[in-house]
Each structure stands twice: as C-alpha cells, then as structure tokens.
Structure 1
Amino acid sequence: MADGGKPWRVQVVMFDGVEELDFAAPYEVFAAARFFTDRPVDVRYVTTGRPRTVRAAYGTAVRVGHGWAPEEAEVIVVPGGGYARPEEPGVRAEIRRGVLPAALAAAARPGLTIGALCTGVMLLSAAGLTRGRPCTTHHKARPDLERQGGLLTGARVVDDGDLVTAGGITSGLELALWLVRRELGPGPATDIEAMLEYEARGTVWTR
C-alpha cells in the first residue's frame, strides 16, 4: 500500500451523450482504490460550466456536482460517446461547440496526467493533445485519430507519460486499473481486480 499523505485527485469529465460504461467503469475503479491504500483518494465527476445534470447516451441522468477545476487534479479522464451519431449529443457535438477541447488544451500542465478512452480520445485530438504522440482510441475512430496527427498504437492502453489513452468502451477498466497501478502500486490494482472479479486484459504500451 502507498503511504498516506497528499490525496490522489481524479476527475472524470462528463457531458451530454457520454457513454454510460465509459464513465462508470473508471469511476468505480478509482473510487474503490481508497479501500486498498493508505493514501487518500478523491474521485469526482466534473463538467465545464456550472454543476448540472448530464444526460448520458442511453438516457441515464447523472447529477454532476463539480465544475471545471483541473488545477485541483492529478488525473483527468475523458470518456467517449456519441461519435458515431453526429446529430446527437456526444463527442462530435462537444467538438463542434469547442468549449471542452479548449478547456482540455488549457488544462495541460506539469504534474497533470490527462487520460481518455474510447472516442473520448477524439476530444483530446481536437484539443491538439495527441498530435505527434502515441495514442489509441475506439476502432471506428482510429483512422480519424491518425489523420489528425496521432501516432496510432495497437495496444489496449497507451501510456505516454502525461497522456494515457485506451481503446474501446470496456477499456476504461484497463485504463483506470493501469493508472491505479502506476500511482498507487500493484497491490491496490490487484486487490481491485479481485473485488471486481475482473482481470485486466490486453497490452499496456509504455515508453
């Protein structure tokens, strides 16, 4: 277990049209981490603008109680959703609005890891954060990611230091477990796997 001390603060970004499994799976992994480490863990949903209720891709209403505050995080995770349905709320709509990509671009700083999974990676691409860097995304968005300058990598999770990306919808589990392992150690990550009765799968690419 990691020693107690400075809290590990994780923010999961929420927006209308976000995929339910994309945000719920990483949130549960991060929230469960506090049971297996002496280090305080703070995980919260955040959204740009004021706290509000977000309606997810399949209609789930989620009250997001925290506004945008990347300076209060060590990790930001961006889920995907809605990329295949450009006329509906989701990633493509957020890219057109431009608010979230601009906020992500402005958030980047030393000491902050920005992660994304599934088509949430395309929001990082719109922010210019994946250009020239190893990354991955949902298989249907990979050609777009590569055209926009990402160095497409076939691994399930791609760790390029302060940029960590993961593939399709269920890879949010691997992304979160990897970040727990990287930050808190293999013990907590293994304990969370046992609690969830889930074994992380696929390759993690690292430098």
Structure 2
Amino acid sequence: MRVHIVVFDGMDDLDVVGPFSVLGMAARAGLGVEVRLTAPSGSAATTRGGLPLHPEPWAPEEADVLIVPGGGYASGENTGVRAEIADGRLPAALARAVRPDLVLASVCTGALLLAAAGLVTGRPCTTHHRAVGDLVAAGGVHVDARVVDDGDLVTAGGVTSGLDLALWLVERFRGPDASGLVQRAMEYERREPLWRGAGAGVRR
C-alpha cells in the first residue's frame, strides 16, 4: 500500500502527523506500507502550528491512496483549506489525479478540498462537525460516522480522526492483524463508528 499525504500551508498538524505516524509505524513493522508527503507545487509547507514540512515530488500515479488533510476551515479564517479552495490549484490537481485504482481519502475538513474538486457529489462522506453544512451544500451525502468508506472515497471527521482513518486503511489493505499490531504498538484503539459501503471490502 503506497500512501501519499498531500501537504499545504495552514493544514492542521494532527491531520498530517497522525496518519503519517500510523503509516510510518506500519512501514517499519514490515507490513507492506509506504508513506510519503507530497504537494503539487513541490514547495515546502508549514502547518497551522508552525511545523515545516518538505514534500517529495507530486506523483499521484505512484500512489494507491492519496490522503488530503484539513485545517483552518472550521474557524472561518482564509487560511489552510479555504485558501487552497480560493486558489484552485490543489483542487484541480486532485481532480486530475483520479483514476480507477486510486483511493482518495480526507481527514476532517480535507473533505472540502475533495468537494471543491467535484469528488464528493452524491457520495457518502463526513467531515468536521462545523463543516457538515458546507459539505452537504457541495453535494456530499453526510454520514454521521468517524470514518466513512465508500470504496474509492474514504473520509474521516474530527480533529484526531487521522489516526482512525490510517488504521482503517491499514486494516482494509493489509488486514485486521496488521491494524491490530499497529494499534498495540501505539497503545491506541481505533475509534468507531466505521461506515462501509458495498465497495469497501478488506484486501488481504
């Protein structure tokens, strides 16, 4: 499982660090997981909390999963997700990345970036509770769950939901034993509920 996490200025620290920590631990445990940070611009990015990140080149064709973090949207500030939506280049890059064997995933308000790319219309999805109205207005079908897996679209709602998203992806692609191993190593249990559509089977 090759996972690329998209980075941009003003993203929430936990939305990036949470999934990266889970997937990095899975990689070090030899569970067949690779994770990297990436950005269409190729430029360094700084999180909302001031953490500088240096992404690798944008190559979504090399990914099995593309994770989009959120950040700043629920506060109403014109930073993070809102700034990227206004700029338009990241949503356009996400729309161009779509292909049949790519899973697009989001943490918290990252779902609004997928919405801006036209990728949630008519699809079950979730986001931060303060952004649900905007997600629905953009065409998404809100599901009240921690993680919503609709096959090639997986979304998670809540500030710490990146941990749960990443653990579910490990289970979906590498099985429950792999996910359980990472959870025990992290001393963290994945939060529920998980909503799964018909196309969200576990790969062994």
Same fold by TM-score, threshold 0.5 exceeded?
yes
How much has 1:37 moved relative to structure 2? 4.1
* 2:71 paired with 1:81: yes
Counterpart among 174, 182, 188 of residue 178 in structure 2: 188
Deviating 4+ runs (over 3 angstroms): 35-38, 84-88
Which ranges in structure 1 are unaligned for 5 or more consecutive residues? Answer: 1-7
| Contact kept? 2:69, 2:107, Cα under 8 Å | yes
* 2:39 paired with 1:56: no
Q: CA RMSD in A?
A: 1.2
* 2:8 paired with 1:18: no
* 2:97 paired with 1:107: yes
Cα separation, 1, equivalents of 2:87 and 2:152: 25
How much has 1:67 moved relative to structure 2? 2.1
Aligned amino acid, residue 188 of structure 1: A
How much has 1:182 moved relative to structure 2? 0.3
Cα separation, 1, equivalents of 2:25 and 2:114: 26
- What percent of counterpart residues are identical? 51
| Contact kept? 2:31, 2:178, Cα under 8 Å | no
**TM-score, normalization by structure 2:** 0.93
Cα separation, 1, equivalents of 2:178 and 2:40: 31
Alignment partner of 1:94: what SS?
helix
Q: CA offsets per residue over residues 49-83 of structure 1, 9 Å max, x none?
A: 22x3211101111222x121110100000000011
Which ranges in structure 2 are unaligned for 5 or more consecutive residues? Answer: 198-204
Cα separation, 2, equivalents of 1:158 and 1:38: 23
Normalized per residue, which structure has more strand? Answer: 1
Alignment partner of 1:164: what SS?
strand
How much has 1:86 moved relative to structure 2? 4.8
